[in-house]
Amino acid sequence: MLKRLQRGAPGNAVEGDVHTPRRHDSAHLHVSGQARYTDDLPEPADCLQIYVAMSERAHATIDKMDLSAVRTAPGVVCVISAEDIPGANDIGPVVQDDPVFAETKVFYHGQPLFAVAATSRKAARLAAMRAELEYTDAPALLDIAAARAAEDIIETPQTMRLGNAAEAIASAPTVLNGALEMGGQDHFYLEGQIALSVPGEDGALLIYSSTQNPTEAQHLIAHLLHKPSSAVTVEVRRMGGAFGGKETQSTLVAAIAALVTHKTGQAAKLRLDRDDDMIMTGKRHDFQIRYQAGFDAQGLLHGVSFDLASRCGFSTDLSLAINDRAMFHSDNCYFLRNAEIVSHRLRTHTVSNTAFRGFGGPQGMLGIERLMDQVAFEVGRDPLDVRLDNLYGGEGKNLTPYHQVVEDNVAGELIETLAASSNYRARRAEIEASNKQPGVIKRGIALTPVKFGISFTAKHLNQAGALIHVYADGTIQLNHGGTEMGQGLMVKVAQVVAHEFQVDIDQIKIMATSTEKVPNTSATAASSGSDLNGMAAQVAARKIKDRLIGFLAERDGVPIESVVFENNRIRAGDTDYSFQEVVKAAYFGRISLSATGYYRTPKIHYDRDKHRGRPFFYFAYGAAVSEVEIDTLTGENRVTRTDILHDVGRSLNPAIDMGQIEGGFIQGMGWLTMEELVYDAEGRLRTHAPSTYKIPTSADRPGVFNVEIWDKGSNQEHTIHHSKAVGEPPFMLAISVFSALTHAVSGAADHKVFPQLDAPATPERILMAVDAVRAELD
Smallest separation, CB 425 to another protein (Å): 24
**How far apart, in Å, are the Cα atoms of 711 and each of 382, 702, 729?**
27, 23, 17
Alpha carbon distance 249, 685 (integer Å): 17
Q: Count CA atoms closer than 13 A to 310's CA, side-chain side.
A: 39
Number of chain positions touching another protein (CB under 8 A): 94
Please give the residues from 170 up to 209 whose contact with another protein meets the rule CB under 8 A: 187-192
Q: Which helix (H) or strand (E) holds 610?
A: none
Q: Is residue 74 a contact residue for another protein (CB under 8 A)?
A: yes
Which is the catalytic residue, given 216, 235, 484, 728?
728
Decide: 604 and 690 in contact? Cβ < 8 Å. no
Smallest separation, CB 526 to another protein (Å): 18
DSSP-derived letter for residue 334 is B
> Residues 6 or more apart from 730 whose CB is under 8 A from it?
450, 622, 644, 646, 660, 661, 662, 663, 664, 665, 668
Which member of 331, 676, 717, 758 binds another protein (CB under 8 A)?
676
Overall size of the chain counted in residues: 778
Please give the residues from 98 up to 137 whose contact with another protein meets the rule CB under 8 A: 120, 122-123, 125-126, 129
Catalytic site includes residue 728: yes
Which member of 6, 104, 156, 691 binds another protein (CB under 8 A)?
691
Alpha carbon distance 49, 46 (integer Å): 10
Strand partners, 707: 644
Neighbouring C-beta atoms of residue 7, cutoff 10 Å: 11
Alpha carbon distance 646, 730 (integer Å): 8
Instruction: Report the residue number, 129 or 170, with the smaller CB distance to another protein.
Output: 129
Instruction: Report the residue number, 462 or 736, with the smaller CB distance to another protein.
Output: 736
Alpha carbon distance 464, 485 (integer Å): 17
Q: Is residue 6 a contact residue for another protein (CB under 8 A)?
A: no
Alpha carbon distance 359, 324 (integer Å): 9
**DSSP state letters, 663-679:** HHHHHHHHHHHT----B
Instruction: Report the residue number, 36 or 459, with the smaller CB distance to another protein.
Output: 36
Burial of 463 (0-12, 13-18, 19+ CB in 10 A): middle
Please give the residues from 469 up to 498 whose contact with another protein meets the rule CB under 8 A: 485-488
Q: Which helix (H) or strand (E) holds 247?
A: none
3-state secondary structure at position 444: strand
Give the binding range for another protein (CB under 8 A) out of 53-61, 305-313, 693-701, 747-755: 693-701
Q: Is residue 75 a contact residue for another protein (CB under 8 A)?
A: yes
Within the chain, what is the greatest distance between any pair of CA atoms?
Answer: 91
Q: Lay out the site mask for another protein across 245-274 (x = CB under 8 A, - = otherwise).
A: ----------------------------xx
Give the binding range for another protein (CB under 8 A) out of 34-42, 382-390, 499-507, 750-758: 34-42
Instruction: Report the residue number, 471 or 705, with the smaller CB distance to another protein.
Output: 705
Instruction: Report the residue number, 9 or 689, with the smaller CB distance to another protein.
Output: 689
Q: Is residue 243 a contact residue for another protein (CB under 8 A)?
A: yes
DSSP-derived letter for residue 185 is B
Q: Give the pairing type, strands 194-199 and 268-271.
A: antiparallel
Alpha carbon distance 659, 59 (integer Å): 42
Region of 396 on the Ramachandran plot (φ > 0 left; ψ -120 to 50 alpha; else beta): left
Give the binding range for another protein (CB under 8 A) out of 20-28, 95-103, 155-163, 712-720: 20-28
Smallest separation, CB 777 to another protein (Å): 18
Q: Is residue 667 a contact residue for another protein (CB under 8 A)?
A: yes
Q: Is residue 9 a contact residue for another protein (CB under 8 A)?
A: no
Q: Lay out the site mask for another protein across 133-172 (x = CB under 8 A, - = otherwise).
A: ----------------------------------------
Q: Is residue 343 a contact residue for another protein (CB under 8 A)?
A: no
Smallest separation, CB 117 to another protein (Å): 15
Please give the residues from 697 up to 756 whose contact with another protein meets the rule CB under 8 A: 697-701, 705, 707
Which member of 665, 671, 710, 754 binds another protein (CB under 8 A)?
665
Q: Is residue 433 a contact residue for another protein (CB under 8 A)?
A: no
> Residues 6 or more apart from 262 whose CB is under 8 A from it?
86, 205, 225
Please give the residues from 604 up to 633 whose contact with another protein meets the rule CB under 8 A: 629-631, 633
Alpha carbon distance 604, 614 (integer Å): 5
Which member of 130, 694, 722, 774 binds another protein (CB under 8 A)?
694
Q: Is residue 34 a contact residue for another protein (CB under 8 A)?
A: yes
Which member of 146, 342, 768, 772 binds another protein (CB under 8 A)?
768
Annotated catalytic sites, by residue?
A: 728
